[in-house]
């Protein structure tokens, strides 16, 4: 059976547990990327099975339901945060007072173009502006310094694909991970420019990433404490929670993870200040003036 780049497949040796997209084919093997989770894997072509179109549709519907549920939880959380900001900005009196917000600047580096598009779509649904760039994981440490100085972000997302391989070492050995070392190096480069964890908030990691090394390198939030797979959209939910929390308040790790699709086994971090700042009065720009 022949396979083509972009086809959706599962692995027979893993009981067809994960839906993958074929990234590349070489000789009798293929590099696979999870369709909804940030996992990269190698597989023999003989172990792959194409997924029928009818099954793909069922899987996508089920995945969409899960994503919509998390988005509804976020909307509820966002509404509560908005009401609190309005009350505090107006001292609880004038609910219609004209105040403005300074949005957080978000830089999102992703090692997968399709994941990046999905994430940007979700950022837009959440009303967040983001500078999203596709960068191969191996190139991220070389690119991050220039990008931080150019964009001057308030928050950085460093993600893509990763995987732990038992054939390469133990779980505490970062050399046994596909891309964790590149993520760690990228975090360190960013922290060399902005050392304060509240002035520059960083999320780093993907599926099964070496969580401890990422936190030690300076990430506020990272994956994956239990070395499990994380959903492609999880970094966006953490970003939104921090971006919509006032800089006067801290974001607990529990609050940051509450609306993610993976939860605390796949994600963790440290207490972090929010990024949102409000001011008043809001002055509408007069487009008719000289």
pLDDT top residue among 89 and 204? 204
Q: What does the pLDDT read at residue 4? A: 86
pLDDT top residue among 185 and 74? 185
Residues 83-137 pLDDT 10s: 666 666 555 555 555 767 788 999 999 999 989 998 999 999 888 889 999 999 9
Percent of the chain past pLDDT 70, that is, above it, reads: 90
Confidence of residue 16 (pLDDT cuts 50, 70, 90): confident
Helix (H) / strand (E) element for 86: namely helix 53-89
Q: Average pLDDT of 4-16?
A: 88
Which tokens go with 16? 């067809």
Architecture label for domain 67-279:
3-Layer(aba) Sandwich (3.40)
* Interaxial angle between packed helices 234-243 and 53-89, expressed in degrees from 0 to 180 and rounded to the nearest 10: 10
Owner of token pair 């070392």: 181
Other C-beta atoms closer than 10 Å to the C-beta of 160 total 27
The pTM for the full model equals: 0.83
Which tokens go with 128? 């967040």
């Amino acid at each position: 059976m022949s396979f083509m780049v972009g086809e959706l497949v599962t692995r027979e040796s893993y009981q067809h547990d994960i839906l993958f997209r074929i990234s590349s084919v070489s000789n009798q093997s293929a590099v696979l990327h999870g369709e909804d989770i940030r996992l990269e894997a190698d597989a023999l072509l003989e172990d792959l099975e194409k997924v029928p179109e009818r099954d793909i549709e069922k899987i996508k519907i089920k995945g969409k339901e899960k994503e919509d549920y998390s988005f509804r939880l976020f909307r509820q959380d966002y509404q509560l945060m908005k009401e609190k900001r309005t009350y505090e900005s107006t001292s609880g009196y004038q609910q219609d007072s004209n105040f403005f917000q300074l949005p957080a600047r978000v830089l999102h580096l992703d090692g997968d173009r399709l994941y990046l598009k999905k994430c940007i779509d979700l950022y837009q649904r959440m009303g967040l502006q983001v500078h999203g760039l596709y960068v191969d994981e191996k190139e991220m440490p070389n690119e991050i310094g220039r990008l931080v100085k150019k964009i001057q972000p308030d928050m950085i997302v460093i993600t893509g694909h990763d995987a732990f391989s038992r054939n390469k070492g133990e779980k505490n050995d970062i050399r046994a991970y596909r891309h964790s070392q590149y993520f760690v190096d990228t975090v360190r480069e960013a922290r060399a420019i902005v050392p304060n964890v509240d002035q520059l908030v960083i999320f780093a990691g993907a599926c099964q990433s070496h969580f401890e090394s990422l936190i030690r390198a300076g990430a506020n939030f990272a994956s994956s404490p239990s070395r499990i797979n994380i959903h492609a959209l999880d970094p966006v939910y953490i970003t939104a929670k921090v971006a919509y929390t006032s800089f006067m308040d801290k974001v607990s790790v529990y609050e940051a993870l509450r609306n993610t699709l993976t939860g605390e086994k796949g994600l963790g971090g440290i207490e972090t200040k929010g990024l949102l700042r409000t001011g008043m009065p809001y002055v509408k720009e007069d487009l008719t003036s000289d």
